[in-house]
Amino acid sequence: MQKTRLTIIALPLLLVGCTDSLRSLTGYTASMACSKTFETGMGWQKIYDDDLNPITEGNVDLASISIDESNNRVTSESFGVSNTAVYRPGIGCTLLSDQFDVLKQEFPDRESVERAGTQWPAGNQATVSESADYEQLNQLADAHFTEFKSYQVESSSLAVIHGGELIFERYAEGFSSSTPIYGFSIAKTIGALFAGVLSDQGVIQIDAELNLPAWENDNRSNITFKHLLNMTSGLDFSETYDDPVSDANMLFVADDMATFSASQSFAAEPGSVFSYSTGDSMVLAGELKRRLGGTLESSIIQLNYGLLDRLDIRDSVIQADASGTLVFGMQGLFSTHDLARLGQFLLQNGTWNGDQVVSTGWMDFMKTPVELANSLGYTYGAGIWLNSQLNGRKFLPSLPEDTMIAFGLRGQFVIACPSLDLVLIRTGSTLDAYDFIADIDALSASIIEAL
């Protein structure tokens, strides 16, 4: 059992008497420590140094955090407010709840796959490129894996796939090609592809209105699957992270994330305003679960057998909330090789091993830009960022316009560029992920030179 020290001197005024702030603090620290202990396999000190302390700006020291390795649990308690996350192999970590009996939820086992000695993508063996300048690639990686910014960089992995072959990879100490790394919003890309599988099967219709009971007789009843995937639902969801009680942060500790998100008020006519929203992704996740029978088990069976297993993505997990809804908004943990498979799948326009896993029509939809302005100036499709200048600037100016980007908080990048037959993967624990985009662009340009 390990504990942080409980420090009261630095208690921010924000936390005094604010139960929601303490719920956010204890929920985040319990959940993240659980995922990184039991799924990623990181040690306590690294979890504290790389994540809990910088993300909470030192407020983690206001909590007593205990790691119960014998029962696969992490508990965080602060001033009488407590949260416990439990790890379940195959589904990752979930915060326990008074409303839902998490431990009674059923879900299928996944067969383990032996990858040793087999070439990527089915296996874990890289290929040596005869044309790549490995001296330059190694120098680039050396520089990238150092702390070269005013804020924490902390790179975890870097991989280059060119011509359909994994030709370069680098890992920080304690990480490997199969280590599940917190991908945050990369889970949105998986959610969009999963919706595509279900659309192809006729389970959902993209332009169908959801008509949730809570939306009866108001303008939210006009929200469709397309609006949720395009981030144009019009729901008033605060996607900010510096406020511990913002919608995005409270969503992290909600027992039923889909219901929490769907309960947000109506801010704009669906389809009229783009607003990047993890809440939209969670409403989508909840509706997909309902259409598949309403259970965690049915959702995972369809996700694994309909998508992930078909792409050889087996070292990764989409975690669930207490209600049994898969958290496509932000709680996927992915190995670097699985992210490389995801990028290659995007590059191949939905095909894998000669099989059209997701229809070309759905892939075209994901790559269709949302023609609505946003404050970032970047262009979104459905579940992915595009490299168009439609809204003012390219996401990665050094790369061609056909580039697709799955981007997660703290510097997680899957970059797929069909015209260059190139996929780049970068993971880490980087504090300012949006500022770091420029560094990823420069790194991408240098990697292309080395190829």
**pLDDT tens digit sequence for 241-284:** 777 767 777 888 899 999 999 999 999 999 999 999 999 999 99
- Is the four-CA dihedral 375, 381, 383, 387 of positive or negative sign? negative
Q: ∠ CA 248-250-254 to the nearest 5 degrees?
A: 115
Q: Are 309 and 109 spatial neighbours (Cβ–Cβ below 8 Å)?
A: no
Q: Report pLDDT digits (tens) over 67-88.
A: 999 999 999 999 999 999 999 9
- pLDDT, the chain, mean: 93
The whole-number pLDDT of residue 240 equals: 77
Q: Report pLDDT digits (tens) over 115-135.
A: 888 999 999 999 999 999 999
The whole-number pLDDT of residue 89 equals: 94
Phi and psi at residue 87, to the nearest 5°: -100, 130
The whole-number pLDDT of residue 231 equals: 97
Question: And the tokens for 99?
Answer: 């409303």
What single DSSP character describes residue 280?
A: H
Count CB atoms within 10 A of the CB of residue 348.
18
| Average pLDDT of the residues in 47-76 | 96
Identify the bridge partners of residue 412 per DSSP, sorted by sequence position. Answer: 408
DSSP per residue over 130-152, as a string? SSS-HHHHHHHHHHHTS--SSS-
The whole-number pLDDT of residue 58 equals: 93
d(CA 443, CA 77): 41
CA 268 from centre of chain: 26
Please say if the pLDDT value at position 308 is more than 80.
yes
The whole-number pLDDT of residue 13 equals: 33
What's the whole-model pTM score?
Answer: 0.95
The whole-number pLDDT of residue 136 equals: 98
Question: Comparing C-alpha atoms, which of 252, 233, 121, 246 is closest to residue 185?
Answer: 252
Question: Comparing C-alpha atoms, which of 51, 34, 24 is closest to residue 86?
Answer: 34
Q: Does residue 346 come out as left (phi exceeding 0), alpha (psi in the -120 to 50 range) or beta?
A: alpha
| Average pLDDT of the residues in 283-311 | 97
Which of 5-9, 234-238, 382-386, 435-439 is predicted least confidently? 5-9
Please say if the pLDDT value at position 6 is more than 60.
no
What is the share, in percent, of the chain residues with pLDDT greater than 70? 96
The whole-number pLDDT of residue 124 equals: 93
d(CA 50, CA 430): 9
The whole-number pLDDT of residue 199 equals: 98
Question: And the tokens for 234?
Answer: 């019009």
Please say if the pLDDT value at position 333 is more than 70.
yes
Q: Report pLDDT digits (tens) over 345-373.
A: 999 999 999 999 999 999 999 999 999 98
> Omega before 397 cis (within 30°)?
no
| Confidence category of residue 9, pLDDT binned at 50, 70, 90 | very low
d(CA 47, CA 118): 32
| Confidence category of residue 376, pLDDT binned at 50, 70, 90 | confident
CB burial readout 314-340, b (16+ within 10 A) else e: bbbbbbbbbbbbbbbbbbbbbbbbbbb
| Average pLDDT of the residues in 318-332 | 96
